[in-house]
Structures are given as structure tokens and as C-alpha cells.
Amino acid sequence: MKEIEIVIDRNGLEKKIIISSGLISFDNSDESINSKYDVSTIVIAANGDSPPPFEQGSKVLREIRASSNRELKHWKRIIPLCHKDVDYFKFNISKSELSKQGDKVENWGLWISERNIDDTFPNIVVFNFPLWILAHSFQNKEVDKDQFELLLSQTFRIILSGLSAFLSFYSQVNIVGSNQSIALSDIGNNLIDKRLIANLGHDEFSADNLYKLRIRIFTEVLSDWIVRNDQFNKAIISYGGGIRTDLIERAWDSQAAESKDDNSEFGDALKLRSTNVGILISLANSTKSKSLVNLIQMSRESFQSNFPSLAADLIQSRALVEGICLELCKKYDLKPKSGNLFAYIERLEENKRISPWVLIYCQVIRVLGNEAAHYKEKIERRPEMPVGKDLIVIHAALNRILSFCIDEKI
């Protein structure tokens, strides 16, 4: 499953939700949990059948024990979900259904593994509850959308409320830090996979919509929570095997597209982008180069799109700057070693008739444009690729290059 990123930007505070498979792995040789992100808390879903220390039922928890050589025997309950009259957090489950579960009900709740204050191992949190029971509310193939949304929202808010209580208490004794990542299994996946999707038979359209609805609610609740939480700047949703990855990936792709806010993602770059369109019009009217006029027209169309795209703007800006640098070489009667942007810039630098900072602007666009052309390749570095906030760099550099071209009358 490919990595999908949702950026949450509120009042200049940027946080992220990152979704993929294999984001977290377990390596016995290191006796640790491996991830390219600084994961300090891991939230795992269990089926509610087993009591602490949860030695049965959770494959992820078994892998953590095996990889870390930690027994994880001692647990504390943060929030009970035993559905007693005195419990504040509870779901709409009938008494007859609760009675069928017997003593298992006493194990339900949000639990955390105890550890020493100076231990750097991540907090392990288990949501021990049989979510499949809640699917009994949807016996028919026609799922009540409002009821389903309420159920999902309640589930996610209970888990995150419990985490907030724990984090708030222990932040006073420095057990939790800041700017860290929290990893969550996709809570609620079993609710859909094992019950609702099975009820739908071969109705792929309804199954697709159910996944999209659940992912939307999950994103809304998680986004609101992580923005208000000082400890975390990333939430990692990591998938293993045994899931409908086709439906999951489509749902997250759709949510990522819906979550984009052009103003928050691109900020002031959109204003600069519009300014550059005006300069391009002036340059098109003044230049005598037909090939450059064609590039200018293509750039105007790209920059005037109602749906800004970082990749499109990067690639088009690079193509435009390549054409500009070629015209500058012709203007100064320079012969580059080869017919590409790097060679054009190199020859202009050797000639020294153009100030170095102008050519540095050209290099910036060349490098970022190259990245956009190869952004699907997996590269182990930080950051992995340009993001929306890099668009202002491109258009600021392009603004100065275009102004220089008008002054030079190319």
C-alpha cells in the first residue's frame, strides 16, 4: 500500500496524518520498534476476549513482545468500558448481548502498559473491546448513515479522550515529550471487514462508500485531536495483512483529496502565482522568441488552473526556465556543452554576465522541477519530497527570473 499524507494546517501549525503499510516493523536484533518516524505511543486494537496482559488476540502485541524481549505483564486501565451504570463511556449494547459476554465484559476498556519513567520504549496502549458487537445494530444490508457516523465518532472520541487524560497527567513528569508520532491501528477496521462488508455480499459500491464514510469520520476526529495535542505532530496509521487494501487505499486517497485546503497548503504562493501570470503576459508581448511565447502560453494555462497542483507548477516552471536560459545563452552568444538546463546554467555562470543569485534562482527551479518529475520513487531522506509549502519558493524564484527577463528584453 502506498504512503498517503494528509496535512493539517490551522493557524500556521502544521501536523500530519500518514497512512501506509509497513510504516512500523519489529526487529529482534535491535530489540526495538523500527520506524522512520519518532513513534512514542502505539495504540492497538484487541477483541475484548482476553484480560491483561493480553497474551492472546493481538498479533501486533505478540510481535512487539517477541521483538523487544519485553513481557509487558503489568497494565493499568485508563478508561473502563464495562458498561456498568456508573460508567460514563459506553455504547448502545443491549443487556441480553452483554450477558452473553459473561466475565469478558470486565476486561473491556482502554489499557496502557506500565513502564519506568526513564524508559525510552514507546507507550503501548490497547483498546480492548469487541467492536464487532456494535455491528449488530446494522442487521440489514441498508446501513443507517447517521447512526453509523455517530457510532464511529463515539468510538474514536472515547479512545482519544482516554489518551488525552493519560498524556495530560504524565506530561507533568516528563514521561511524554513533544513533536513525536503516535501510531494507531485502523480502529474500526474489523467492524467493517468482518460484519458490515460481509453483509453487503458483492455490492462493491456500498462497501466502497462504507469505507470512505469511516475514513472520513476517523480523519475528522483524529485531526481535531492532534491539532489540540502538544505532544504529537504526526499520527501514523499503519496497516498489516488481512485487509481489503483496494478499498482502504481508495478511501484514504479520496479523503486526502477532500482534506486539501488550497489556502492552507499553498498559502501566499497563490497570490504570487497570480502575479507571475501578469508578468508572463507582459513577457509574451515583448519577446521575439516564438518558442518562448509557446512556453509562456503553456505556463499561463498551468498557473491559471482553478485546481493548483504542486507537481504541475514545478514541472512547468522548470520547462519555462529551461527555455529562458536557452534564450539567454543565445542573447550572449554562448554555446553550452549540451542541450539541457544544467548545461545552460553552467555556461551562464562561466560567462559571469548575469549575477549569481539570479542563476541560483534558476538552479532552485531546476532541482525542484526534477524532484516533481520523479516524486513517485521511494527515497530514504527527510523530507522525502517537495510539499505544498515549497510552491512559494518556486513562484518567488520565478518572479525574479521573469522580472529579469523583461529588464533584459529577451
Q: Quick one: 228 and 273 in the same domain?
A: no
Residue at a domain's end among 231, 260, 289: 260
Q: Quick one: 116 and 253 in the same domain?
A: yes
Q: Quick one: 250 and 279 in the same domain?
A: no
Q: What is the pLDDT of residues 6-37, one digit of tens each?
A: 878 765 677 888 887 765 665 655 555 666 67
Q: Quick one: 282 and 192 in the same domain?
A: no
Q: Quick one: 117 and 150 in the same domain?
A: yes
Measured between alpha carbons, how far is 163 from 150 in angstroms, rounded to an integer? 20
CB 113 within 8 A of CB 54: no
The partner residues of 125 in beta bridges, in order of sequence, read 43, 112
Low-confidence ranges of the chain (pLDDT < 50): 376
Instruction: Classify 44 as helix, strand or coil.
Output: strand
Measured between alpha carbons, how far is 22 from 86 in angstroms, rounded to an integer? 40
- CA–chain centroid gap for 147, Å, is 28
Residue 124 backbone dihedrals phi, psi, to 5 degrees = -105, 115
Instruction: Provide the Cα torsion 252, 154, 25, 76; round to 10°.
Output: 170
Count CB atoms within 10 A of the CB of residue 34: 12
pLDDT of residue 211: 83
pLDDT of residue 27: 60
Total domain count, the chain = 2
Q: Quick one: 44 and 105 in the same domain?
A: yes
Residue at a domain's end among 260, 286, 318: 260
